[in-house]
């Protein structure tokens, strides 16, 4: 989750999830702090960085929602990636130094014949220009010093990879992938498979599961809502905390079950799933948090909302 800074005196408790449309050129943490300032929120964190070059969906968790941000970090992502064929850069994207240009004589049929190699479970070597650490130092810091170190391949899963547009040296792709996927690396590898090389020229994150079609807000839109419609309208832009877990199984607890579970004690719930994590709702209380099925079938608390 992104960094949280010290709260000014006029900030307040705000709970919920904002689907921010991150602008080009702004880091995820700067976008987070700008959104936090608009809402005057005491506590906020984002759920997976986007490079300054990238735009699109950046879910921001406010207040109690930060307890559940880790689950969004684990979620699959959707991207629309613009690839520039024939251009290889030092970073794999448009921010890097151009290392090589190659002629492009690629057809749509060739593109379509290559893409199946990159669907499903694949191995990726993380780029040097990434936030991974080597002996305590970020790889991108080492890269800036001209140092390259060996990186272990990592397995990721490409759930879907489809051509949207193709125009000579410009290829537009829709990508649905697991967490930890480096789209820059995917684009570079596709370029090598085509024989011409490629780099990422633009990237938009279009979804973070379970968020795909809900409305996103730009920072300018949020400022305008606050100034023209007031604080209540601004808070209406937030999704409820449980929206982050919309695809999860859910059980409802009796008042007695809720009482014991809030004390940290596992409870037996008839009809509960046999394993895994699940949403918890209390009778007359609404969303309580996340529970986990133990080996003996009881439901144990994993992460609960603060009692009010």
Q: Which two tokens stand for residue 228?
A: 């023209």
Q: Which two tokens stand for residue 133?
A: 């650490």
- The angle subtended at Cα 212 by Cα 75 and Cα 153, nearest 5°, is 35
- Strands 198-208 and 44-46 turn out to be unpaired
- Active-site residue among 13, 15, 21, 51? 51
E strand or H helix that includes residue 302: strand 299-304
51 is catalytic: yes
Q: How far apart are CA 222 and CA 227, in angstroms?
A: 9
Please give the DSSP secondary-structure letter assigned to residue 12. Answer: B
Phi–psi pair at 30, nearest 5 degrees: -70, -35
Q: How far apart are CA 1 and CA 47, in angstroms?
A: 5
- Strands 154-167 and 170-177 turn out to be antiparallel
Catalytic residue IDs: 51
């Amino acid at each position: 989750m992104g960094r949280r800074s010290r709260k000014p005196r006029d900030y307040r408790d705000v709970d919920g999830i904002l689907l921010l449309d991150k602008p080009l050129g702004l880091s995820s943490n700067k976008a987070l702090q700008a959104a936090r300032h608009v809402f005057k929120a005491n506590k906020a964190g984002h759920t997976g960085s986007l490079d300054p070059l990238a735009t699109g969906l950046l879910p921001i968790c406010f207040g109690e929602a930060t307890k559940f941000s880790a689950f969004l970090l684990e979620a699959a992502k959707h991207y629309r990636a613009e690839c520039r064929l024939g251009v290889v850069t030092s970073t794999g994207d448009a921010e890097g130094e151009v290392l090589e240009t190659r002629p492009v004589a690629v057809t749509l049929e060739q593109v379509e014949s290559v893409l199946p190699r990159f669907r499903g479970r694949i191995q990726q070597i993380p780029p040097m220009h990434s936030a991974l650490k080597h002996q305590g130092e970020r790889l991108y810091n080492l890269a800036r010093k001209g140092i390259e170190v060996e990186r272990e391949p990592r397995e990721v899963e490409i759930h879907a990879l489809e051509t949207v547009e193709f125009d000579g040296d410009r290829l537009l792709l829709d990508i649905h992938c697991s967490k930890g996927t480096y789209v820059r690396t995917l684009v570079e590898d596709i370029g090598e498979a085509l024989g011409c090389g490629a780099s990422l020229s633009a990237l938009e994150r279009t979804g973070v599961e379970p968020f795909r079609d809900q409305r996103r807000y730009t920072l300018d839109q949020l400022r305008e809502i606050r100034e023209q419609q007031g604080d209540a309208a601004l808070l209406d832009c937030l999704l409820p905390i449980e929206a982050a877990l919309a695809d999860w199984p859910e059980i409802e607890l009796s008042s007695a079950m809720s009482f014991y579970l809030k004390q940290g004690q596992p409870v037996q719930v008839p009809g509960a799933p046999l394993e895994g994590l699940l949403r918890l709702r209390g009778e007359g209380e609404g969303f309580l948090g996340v529970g986990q099925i133990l080996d003996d079938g009881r439901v144990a608390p994993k992460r609960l909302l603060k009692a009010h």
